[in-house]
Amino acid sequence: MYRGREGQWAFLLHRISGVALALYLLLHVIDISLVMYGPDGPFNAFLGFYHQWPFRIGLVAVMAGVVYHAFNGLRIIIMDFTGWGVKYQAVMWYGVLALTAIVGVPVLVKVIPEIIGRA
Amino acid sequence: MKVNVKIKRFNPEADKRPYWAEYSLEVRETDRVLDVINQIKWEMDGSLSYRRSCAHGICGSDAMLINGVNRLACKILVRDLGEVINIEPIRGLPVLKDLIVDMEPFFDSYKAVLPFFINEDPEPPTERYQSAEDREIFDASTKCILCACCTTSCPVFWTNGRYIGPAAIVNAHRFIFDSRDQGADERLQILNQSNGLWRCRTAYNCTEACPRDIPITKAIEEVKRELLWRRA
């Protein structure tokens, strides 16, 4: 592994979260579209399938991915459109991680008990 | 001090794939990595192949991946690395032998951005005047030694060898922002192609790797904005 610094990890996480979200969105669109086959169609079966444990935990990962990708996207916009952004890219990345964690707190407090509670 | 040096070696005439060769030797902590591999070549294994020329950080011949980071072997001291030193050829360019890579794709990208002064006006009787402020704009970009530390540290370049790469963009920057030069439009058009400037994903490995401390990502972002505002 190349021993890059903040910028490399910011890029790698941005790419991983981006690809993961694109795949999630595709899956999401497919299973929501199944509702057009009516109440007796495959929609409810799929929804039941998604209530299994791995998908519940995956939902937390999806939220983390969305929040990180959004904040890091703002970091990239600042770097691309201002003259000073590049200079503070590392600091801004730590800010992105901190904001992601802060936004993650209500997710942990509110969502995880629901995920675990209604097994 | 005693160091353990691992070098990723490959001889296309004998080996199917690269392998790690290990050497254990006594060196001074003020030795440079170049001194260490010279010592290996001259005293232990004459078949080891690598490029070096000036040995003072100016010719740009001895760029290598040393302990996970691209550096010039002649600019890094043993004491800054410790007792374990891993050396690989720079990534993304075809390995010819041991630490020697084929630099031609790299130089092709460099040549593609027209890295020379373009001005069709008749030569003035005196100098082509440029203020100190105008010179300052592209000062850092003039320092490039074409060692390829930046381009071969770029994750985008590793996976897409046709990406023009940071070194070529820095050298384009050097002329695009030169107040005396008239070739900016042509260079920006070249950089606007699909494997050009926009492949940069700002991973900053280039900036960290540059042995000349050129703020490469900053230069690339300046060229991106120039292209954007000129087209807007």
Q: CATH code at A30? A: 1.20.1300.10
- The DSSP 8-state label assigned to residue B149 in this structure reads T
> Given strand B19-26, what is the order of strands in its sheet?
B19-26, B2-9, B84-88, B63-66, B69-72
Q: What is the mean pLDDT of residues B132-157?
A: 98
Of B139, B137, B69, B146, the residue nearest B104 (C-alpha): B146
Which residue range forms the structural domain that includes residue A18?
6-117
Percent of chain B beyond pLDDT 90?
99
A78 touches chain B (CB under 8 A): no
**CA–CA gap between residue B209 and residue A2 (Å, rounded):** 11
What part of B 115-134 touches A (C-beta under 8 Å)?
none
Whole-model pTM? 0.92
What part of B 176-215 touches A (C-beta under 8 Å)?
201-205, 207-208, 215
Contacts of A87 in chain B (CB under 8 A): 218
What pLDDT shows up at residue B213?
97
- In chain B, what are the domain boundaries? 2-101, 104-231
A79 touches chain B (CB under 8 A): yes
Assess if residue A82 is contained within a domain: yes
What pLDDT shows up at residue A118?
57
**CA–CA gap between residue B163 and residue B146 (Å, rounded):** 16
Mean model confidence pLDDT for chain B: 97
Assess if residue A112 is contained within a domain: yes
Within B138-215, residue ranges assigned H as helices are: 155-159, 165-176, 184-191, 205-209
Mean model confidence pLDDT for chain A: 91
Which of these ranges, A80-84, A111-115, B64-68, B147-151, has the smallest mean pLDDT? Answer: A111-115
Helices (H) and strands (E) in chain B, counts: 8, 7
Q: What is the mean pLDDT of residues A74-84?
A: 96
pLDDT tens digit sequence for B11-65: 999 999 999 999 999 999 999 999 999 999 999 999 999 999 999 999 999 999 9
Percent of chain B beyond pLDDT 70?
100
Assess if residue A37 is contained within a domain: yes
**CA–CA gap between residue A111 and residue A67 (Å, rounded):** 15
Q: Degrees (nearest 5) of the Cα angle B214, B151, A78?
A: 60
* Other Cβ atoms closer than 10 A to B41: 16
Assess if residue A90 is contained within a domain: yes
Would you call B169 helix, strand, or coil by DSSP? helix
A21 touches chain B (CB under 8 A): no
What pLDDT shows up at residue A111?
77
What pLDDT shows up at residue B221?
98
Mutating which of A86, A88, A89, A92 best tests the B interface, going by the most B Cβ atoms within 10 A? A86
pLDDT over 90 (residue B131) = yes
Would you call B32 helix, strand, or coil by DSSP? strand
Q: Degrees (nearest 5) of the Cα angle A44, A50, A56?
A: 145
Complex-level ipTM: 0.90
Assess if residue A53 is contained within a domain: yes
Which of these ranges, A98-107, B126-135, B206-215, has the smallest mean pLDDT? Answer: A98-107
**CA–CA gap between residue B155 and residue A13 (Å, rounded):** 13
Assess if residue A1 is contained within a domain: no
CATH 3.10.20.30 given to domain B2-101 = yes
Identify the closest residue of chain B to A75 by CA–CA distance. B202
pLDDT over 70 (residue B208) = yes
pLDDT tens digit sequence for B167-202: 999 999 999 999 999 999 999 999 999 999 999 999
Fold held by B104-231: Fumarate Reductase Iron-sulfur Protein; Chain B, domain 2 (1.10.1060)
